Amino acid sequence: MALHRLPRVNAEYLEGGAEDERSLVANRQAFDEIEFQPRVLRDVSHIDLQRTILGATSSLPFAIAPTGFNGLLWHRGDLALARAAAFKGIAFAQSTVSNATIADVAVTPGLRHWFQLYLYAEDPVWERLLQQAATAGCEAIMLTVDSPVLGNREWDRRNYQSGFTPTFASKLDMLHHCRWMWQVLRHGIPSFPNLEQFVPGQDRSLYAVARWALANQRPQTDWTTVARIRKVWPGKLILKGVANMADVRAAMDAGLDGVVLSNHGGRQLDRSAVPLRLVRQARATVSSGFALLVDSGFRRGTDIVQALALGADAVLLGRAMLYGLAAGGEAGVQRAIDILAAEISRTLALLGLRSVDELSPEVFA
């Protein structure tokens, strides 16, 4: 439904990976490498899907990953994701490059609100964003560290002639997607309100902010910056985009609260390790109480069950939620969450297990 509704530019933005998309493909293939050996004749009449994530109860063992530019998929897409997450009792991670302010998202009743931080320009920029996150009551900061520079996404160059101006062919294709086009015509192109405040001059358009963000990336960021952030942010601090055990250990040593094993859904370094394959080793590396999250390639309940059985505390979902968003806004995200919840529940029953917490590597043995 999502692909039917979206123009090609947006569909490629949602689905695409970097360069030859090897990581994108490998992320999915890895799930086929492991098979379940289910147990039978066990009472599975009641299934408990709750999970403790970062010290608080989540009604399901997954959360919504931070994704930027959700307004490209649905008007006020960030709010639709946040509301669906709150309604279903799971956490929502808001991206720095979302199309809503931190405060706008924070008013969602009952939301577990995480803020994903990209670092731009000088320290006062992230210091201000963290202040705004604290004022809004964000529970956790997710510092994304796999993007010192932007991945090489060739579809972007194909679809835009310069900056953010779509090519003539892309514009024509947009006109063919009337339901999407109608939303844009009615509401206009969304902006990046969390970054607007840092852009000098009068121009606050999407293009101006995107230009500023690209010109102000911080490839010089290192662990000393992480230490400064740790000092300033008293709440949970998670490193997102870790794919090497040395960095998992360094994150623990830096006093962080967890990591997300991730290759950014195959959008950054192509041929970066598949996070699912790292889970078992990471579980053996981290101490208990240190959150081990994983993402990249999760589309089905069985995928999520595999990662939890290997030792992950929870899974983040990017595209699986965005398909729901692009297909039907808030209702579409709720539907996507329901589909996955039903799949996890069914998988547990078929494995002979009654709760997510009973999962262990024994399901493979």
Ligand X SMILES: Cc1cc2nc3c(=O)[nH]c(=O)nc-3n(C[C@H](O)[C@H](O)[C@H](O)COP(=O)(O)O)c2cc1C
List residues bridging with 316 in a β-sheet: 63
In angstroms, give the least distance from the CB of 135 to ligand X: 21
List residues bridging with 158 in a β-sheet: none
Note the residue count of the chain. Answer: 365
Interacting residue ranges for ligand X, rule: CB under 6 A: 13-14, 65-68, 95, 97, 116, 144, 240, 262, 264-265, 267, 295-298, 317-320, 322
In angstroms, give the least distance from the CB of 44 to ligand X: 28
Cβ pair 104, 79 in contact under 8 A: yes
Cβ pair 101, 129 in contact under 8 A: no
Report the residue closest to ligand X, judged by CB.
318
Outline where DSSP puts E strands in the chain: 51-53, 56-58, 62-64, 91-94, 112-117, 140-144, 160-162, 165-166, 236-242, 258-261, 291-294, 314-317
List residues bridging with 63 in a β-sheet: 316
In angstroms, give the least distance from the CB of 362 to ligand X: 26
> Locate tokens 């089905």: which residue?
300
Q: Given 75, 113, 177, 264, which residue is catalytic?
A: 264
- Is there a catalytic annotation at residue 46? no
Q: Which is nearer to ligand X, 129 or 322 (CB)?
A: 322
Cβ pair 74, 323 in contact under 8 A: no
Three-class SS state of 338: helix
Query: How many alpha carbons lie under 13 Å from residue 10 in its C-beta half-sphere?
Result: 26
> Locate tokens 């009952």: which residue?
110
Q: Which is nearer to ligand X, 247 or 295 (CB)?
A: 295
Q: Which is nearer to ligand X, 144 or 345 (CB)?
A: 144
Q: Which is nearer to ligand X, 196 or 358 (CB)?
A: 196
One-letter amino acid of 39: R
Cβ pair 195, 212 in contact under 8 A: yes
The two three-digit tokens of residue 283, written as one number: 């579980």
Rounded to an integer, what distance in angstroms lies between the CA atom of residue 5 and that of residue 56? 36
One-letter amino acid of 211: R
One-letter amino acid of 309: A
In angstroms, give the least distance from the CB of 154 to ligand X: 15
Q: Which is nearer to ligand X, 42 or 207 (CB)?
A: 207
Q: Which is nearer to ligand X, 44 or 61 (CB)?
A: 61
In angstroms, give the least distance from the CB of 97 to ligand X: 5
In angstroms, give the least distance from the CB of 159 to ligand X: 14
Rounded to an integer, what distance in angstroms lies between the CA atom of residue 356 and that of residue 148? 35
Q: Which is nearer to ligand X, 18 or 174 (CB)?
A: 18
Nearest to 311 by CA among 288, 292, 335: 292
Q: Which residues carry out catalysis?
A: 264
